[in-house]
Structure 1
Amino acid sequence: VPYTRVRNSMTPKLDAIDMDFCIEMEKHGIVCVPIPTNESLWNSATNRFRSIVSQKHAAQAAGIGTIGRHSLLITPEYGSMVWLGAVLSEHEFEPDPLLAPICNNCNLCVDVCPINALSESELKQLDCWNHAFGDDEEQKTWKISCHKCRDICPYNLGSKNKL
């Protein structure tokens, strides 16, 4: 429940930061569009949830982190304990250099997954979603009930803060 509450309180804050950034950029003649932090739609053609842009792939391309075997972004500083916000702009910004992969493919996340959502090279996204997110009938609330892949990752706190 605490993880769910933190996630639910961070999402609107990230969206507000994105909007504030866009407003400031427009003062300098740079037009930006905020991307919702947590708004994906089901794509029946790919059988996956998709957003307007993959924020973790954009973050990897910007040199912020690398995508691990568990399909989460891992940053050197914070590991996979990050939530992302994004804006789109036609203005060119200088990216940081791309990072070398942080994940060493130890497969701890693969082994700990209770539904084998990581047993293939691509995450079985719908299986993961159906298991990890949803209504708790007993407590009458929506919650995140699984993040074992994130918890077991040796880089969940980043390579600079590795346990």
Structure 2
Amino acid sequence: MTVALTIAKADIAARAHALGFDAFGVASAREPWPAGARLEHFIADGRHGDMDWLAREAHRRSHPQQLWPEAKSVIIVGQSYAPDDDPMTLLAEQDKGVVSAYAARRDYHDVVKGKLKQLAQWLAHASGEEVKVFVDTAPLMEKPLAERAGIGWQGKHTNLVSREHGSWLFLGAILTAAEFEPDAPHQERCGSCRACLDVCPTDAFPAPFQLDARKCLAYLSIEHHGQIPRAYRAPMGNRIFGCDDCLAVCPWNKFAAASAEVKLQARSDLIAPRLEDLVRLGDADFRQKFSGSPIKRIGRGRFVRNVLIAIGNSGEPALAAEAERLLDDAEPEVRGAAVWALSRLKGRAELSAAAARRMAESDPDVLAEWRAALGEAA
């Protein structure tokens, strides 16, 4: 017979900080909460875009106990990924790509989950109760839980904001059948500030505390399949994976410090990498370069599509040859983006000549790109 050990919430917090987590809090897994209703409205309005898994799992996301009925408490931890410099400055280097700060590091799923499993195993042994670990890959809404656990609040950009860590926190959660005193929920402290709303290049926030993912450059460059909608290509600028604008302008970032966690230090080769180098990546090169990176998950096709959009926005005629080379790529996503990039860097006569050599194109989306580029009716 297993005897449950006595354990205090302070003991769990101390263990979490010893493992390198920067934030810690506890929320009740039993209490009702409004996050489920907000998700329903988000999906009903179609603001989830191509993320069909959100709609499929909406019921399981509506409350932690829908995921695991035996859960009584939720342990929430946060890991800072505050960048050393302002990511916004990189937007001016148009011949280079901008990778979201979180993706310029080792995949946070691996880093956070590894430490969270250690904490969970210790908690299970010390409490004698079952636990379950979650890091962004299961239908659990960590941000509302982190707000309820007192770690921060969901800001007007819908991301978590912390007084100590700004808008730069990775979150992880442990559901436990043990019950601990919950922390007081954090109060919203955005005040009259709307910097995150005003900086958005695509006006993706229909109202404060609401996001339309279909307009969000982070969603479009990562989750969206196929061609990027034409209205959002120029606003993408040189953002090739994600968009940090709404996070980077948050005034609370002035208190954030870069993590001392070695595994979360930014990779130097992903800070303003040259577009010319990235667009030449074949599939094997892509997988090798982004091994251990969240970028690997979107695949070479979508990534090079994004790089070609950046090339089209670069104003660098020297990069036109890179776009033209990819007009014959095996991936339709790449070919279509190459057409658009070339149309931004070459004159109509050169574009027409390139089109004439590719009369065998059969993909309807790529054909639409050619018609639009040549000024014909789509």
Contact 2:160 2:167 in 1 (8 A): yes
> Within 5 A, what are the aligned runs for 1:12-161?
12-28=110-126, 29-35=128-134, 37-39=135-137, 51-121=138-208, 122-128=210-216, 129-133=218-222, 144-158=241-255
Contact 1:74 1:80 in 2 (8 A): yes
- Deviation, structure 1 residue 2: 7.1
SS of 2:183's equivalent in the other structure is coil
Identity %: 27
Q: CA RMSD in A?
A: 2.4
Moved over 4 A (4+): none
- Deviation, structure 1 residue 148: 0.2
- Deviation, structure 1 residue 113: 0.6
Does residue 97 of structure 2 align to residue 10 of structure 1?
no
Higher strand share: 1
Matched residues in 1 for 2:221 and 2:199: separation? 13
Higher helix share: 2
Q: Per chain length, whose mean CA-contact separation is higher, i.e. which structure has more relative contact order (CA < 8 Å, sep 6+)?
A: 1
Count of residue pairs the alignment pairs up: 140
Q: Which has the larger radius of gyration?
A: 2
5+ residue gaps, structure 2, are 1-98, 225-239, 258-378
With structure 2 as the length reference, what TM-score do the two structures score? Answer: 0.34
Contact 2:221 2:242 in 1 (8 A): yes
- Deviation, structure 1 residue 81: 1.0
With structure 1 as the length reference, what TM-score do the two structures score? Answer: 0.74
- Deviation, structure 1 residue 134: 6.2
5+ residue gaps, structure 1, are 40-50, 136-142
The Cα offsets for residues 1-55 of structure 1, whole Å up to 9 and x where unpaired, read as 372222x4332111112211221122120211001x232xxxxxxxxxxx42111
- Deviation, structure 1 residue 152: 0.9
**Shift in alpha-carbon separation, 1:52–1:76, aligned structure 2, 3 A:** same
Matched residues in 2 for 1:86 and 1:15: separation? 9
